[in-house]
Amino acid sequence: MITSDQIIANLKQRANAQAVEGMARFGVRPAHLQFFPLIKHYAGDKRNFVKKAVNWALRQIGKRNSHLRALALECAYEIQAMDSKSAQWVAKDALKELQAKEIKD
């Protein structure tokens, strides 16, 4: 049986992943670097909308400039090394986009 504490914890995880995605998408500064640990943390989450939000956040941060792209690629490679199918998907999809595009500063 699911307790109310588990439901609240679940909602907090969802909100965190979606907030990171939204902030990355709309260019909140100067805190881009603080999102990488959160992205790594939630990359292994099995819920579809969480892994999509994490993937989107990683890709959006990586598209900001060449410095953040290099950091996003490094983060994606670290996520790729995780033992989780969700993390593997996040890394594969992010790497596909970040390696394919040239970022103009």
pLDDT tens digits for range 39-78: 999 999 998 888 899 999 999 888 888 888 888 999 999 9
Q: Look at residues 1, 76, 4 and name the one whose alpha carbon lies nearest to residue 43.
A: 76
What confidence category does residue 87 fall into, taking pLDDT thresholds of 50, 70 and 90? Answer: very high
Separation of first and last alpha carbons in the chain: 52
pLDDT tens digits for range 7-50: 666 766 766 666 666 666 655 455 677 789 889 999 999 988 88
What is the distance of C-alpha 48 from the center of its chain? 13
Residue 74 corresponds to which amino acid?
E
